[in-house]
Structure 1
């Protein structure tokens, strides 16, 4: 009787998981589709001025593969690149100047703001300095892009045309991340998949919706909207600065668009699991706003949605419960089916879709680890800096 009751409870739990997956399939903004690319656009008669701001900290390893792609932008209007060296110890600034001399192209200015004051992340302090330098040129748009991002020659041109045509204040593309090592193939497509599940791209671009997000590697920002939203001062302590930026712009009445990129690529390698673990865990708990109740709900939700289906199949098969196997397999297949488009986008084989529960379990552990680090006082650590908890950051005067 006890085993029968446990199997029956498992069947009902698996049924809830299946219902959740059917809702996610149809009711979460079709997050699983990967056809949200740059919106329809036409080239303007007069191209606006653009300043490109690149915050860089110890990026000498990737800069030769990325900075020349910015300098070589085929942009009909006036454009200029500002690389802001955020306290690098590997010669990033000197290498940037050497690359500019060697490759030519757009004008490059290299600046350094010094160490960030209390209450600022290093990246946003560097962005503030870069925007300050750019304001002297009075550009209509700012392109905020990371130092590990390589752009196709027409990237800036297409971004500006999309922003002008659609009347967007932010046009952001989720750069295609590197997927070469075994762990990258397992974890990276899922990272983008989970992000889209949290922030369905279709909802972000619609008028009147509250959903807001951007991808920090490639953000075209209207300068007027930046001033209106007080970017970056209003988000100066945000670890997940791209989402914070999009929310600030939307709160100030701006329009935001986010989609997947075709020819904007991250060259940063994450060859080992610990590299990917560090990348995710440094900001996972910040994504949950450092709220233990939200953390508990997230863990429970991940277990129910991602882990219950394979458990139902395994336990149901062992117990001879056809109902548990059928319901669990149904939820598992819907889950895998929603993951297939992302695997195709990353040009990966489709069989890892069945491993999504395992990958979700890894993300669950990364999230818990992020919370543990937070309560140990280690906060969000990145490239030698550890940032304070939000409640420890002094407010602006």
Structure 2
């Protein structure tokens, strides 16, 4: 009888506390959810369980929303319940940290984009502009997003005024990554061209330039190299029909003392072989993405006396090489850069620090007749990394916290060794 009473009391306590979990435990559950579109559905259900769960999860639900279709419409209604902010304001707007409108094409309006920027300005860190609904009325709202760290205008289809962009960038002191639009840019003309001063954000680390970056705009950038911040280390030049090899070279040389990451592709005016000397232009380069259309068999040309034994210490700093294709019309396959050239650059230790090799499937290097060559390059890349480990060269020099007698195979089994292991990957969707 007493046992039945005790069981009833325990059952009552279980019912009393069954709906409560500590906030710390709920946060750990949320940490297990990846940032994805599917997880957003789970988060939406999570915050509907109780007030406690709502308080714990609402910040994550609105921090990085995935906006498309009806979700975008509902999001706009929630963040902008009224056209006039002082009439009705949404407290949820302050929770938004990223506003990715890349999948909004014809659904949004230019005034809506400006309104969203105005409501989320306080904590917004990332903004990806939509293709059709970003225009001149958005600049004022964008300039007030002073916490912005990433600004992506790559999809904007309407020609923008560089003066508007320049004035906006002056206000974005925290911006670290800027992606210029692929469309043409109105740079202006007349006497004011000679006095126009470029204003790049002081903390800018990455800059993607596309569209009309040739002509007067390019001349201004080359004429004012001191305007680029000292923090800038990564540049991508792509989707620019008017930019030729000479223009690209002049810009890269102005930044040669700081660039460690460069991407060069989708530049129709660049001819085959014109980027053969990019490693000589940029002595600090660690990561390079380049279309094989713009290089040929002379890429990385070395002195005749160069050998792995005598010149290994002069190896380029390049650690990651990504090769894509762009469909150049006057491409000569007889001069094409191929897997044999890659093998030679590694074997002679000209690329003695290389650890990551990626090639687009469009190169055809994984075809049956070249599959053995690709496998040979992969094995050589692994042998190079093992050699550098055993001799403690380059990225393995001065490695701390590692026993001197540790073998290379044991190193690869560690978390750090697995992350930095040599890899040769064939890219399918590039």
- Which category of TM-score, normalised to the shorter sequence, fits these structures? under 0.3
Larger radius of gyration: 2
TM-score normalized by the length of structure 2: 0.25
TM-score normalized by the length of structure 1: 0.27
- Pick the structure with more helix per residue: 1
